Amino acid sequence: MAEASLAGHLGAHEHETTTGLNHRKVLMWIFLGSECLFFGSLISTYLVYRDRSLVGPFPSDTFDIPYTSVSSFVLLMSSLTMVLALAAGQRRNSGQMRLWLTTTALLGTVFLGGQVYEFTSFVNHGLSLSKNLFGTTFFVLTGFHGAHVTVGVIILLSLVLNSLRGGIKEGETLGIEIAGLYWHFVDVVWIVIFTVVYLLPY
């Protein structure tokens, strides 16, 4: 069992390391650590300037909580489909793995579509990047998050294509696992943003 676990950490035919851990997986975790600091700074900035805008629109005039709740639910469910994709890959079921990866990408796209609609509606109500402090900090924070989701969707679709071309051998799921770590992190950041930006009262 330990041998199998070791192989799972290192990946098949991987160079052995001093820690016994795969370099790519370690790199992704360290990258996610740096992303914690990145989003932490953006969230801090939003909180510092919260309710310090001199002119509207203000959050209470702008947010549609039920709408954003549905959006949040969609992204949460995409985390489920992502982990199901990994589980399917580990069971050597490439077809199901591709199905769950595609579903994850689709849910991510739905979330992005929801964000685009929401941003458009905010702009139509007079909120923009340069309108006030709320607009600046909100759009920068959620915009960067949206950019991360977009990159995630591209990664997922490229994994599906790679699998269709036979680039991912059955049972070799390290790439899926690493992509999954990125995707779950993007979801986790939204969990924080939804609470801190949308739900915390003014």
Query: For the CA atoms of 83, 118, 151, 34, what is the dihedral angle to 10 degrees?
Result: -80
Stretch that binds other proteins, among 68-76, 116-124, 126-134, 148-156 (CB under 8 A): 68-76
Query: Minimum distance between the CB of residue 197 and other proteins, rounded to whole angstroms?
Result: 11
**Closest CB to other proteins among residues 163, 173:** 173
- Our measurement of the distance from residue 95's CA atom to the centroid of its chain's CA atoms, rounded to an integer in Å, reads 24
Query: Minimum distance between the CB of residue 82 and other proteins, rounded to whole angstroms?
Result: 7
Q: Does 188 bind other proteins (CB under 8 A)?
A: yes
Stretch that binds other proteins, among 137-145, 148-156, 165-173, 186-194 (CB under 8 A): 186-194
Query: For the CA atoms of 194, 29, 154, 146, what is the dihedral angle to 10 degrees?
Result: 20
How far apart CA 73 and CA 53 sit, in angstroms, is 30
The closest of 91, 79, 102 to 180, measured between CA atoms, is 79
Applying CB under 8 A, which of residues 87, 110, 133, 157 lies at the interface with other proteins? 87
Q: Does 195 bind other proteins (CB under 8 A)?
A: yes
**Closest CB to other proteins among residues 115, 187:** 187
Query: Minimum distance between the CB of residue 132 and other proteins, rounded to whole angstroms?
Result: 17
How far apart CA 131 and CA 54 sit, in angstroms, is 10
Task: Supply 164's token pair.
Answer: 């269709």
Tell me how far apart the terminal alpha carbons of the chain are, to the nearest angstrom: 53
Q: Taking each helix axis as running N to C, give the angle between helix 174-193 and helix 23-48, from 0 to 180 degrees, rounded to the nearest 10.
A: 10
Binding site for other proteins (CB under 8 A): 1-3, 5-6, 8-10, 16-21, 25-26, 29-30, 32-34, 36-37, 39-41, 43-45, 47-48, 50, 65-66, 69, 72-73, 76-77, 79-80, 82-84, 87, 177, 180-181, 184-185, 187-188, 191-192, 194-196, 199-201
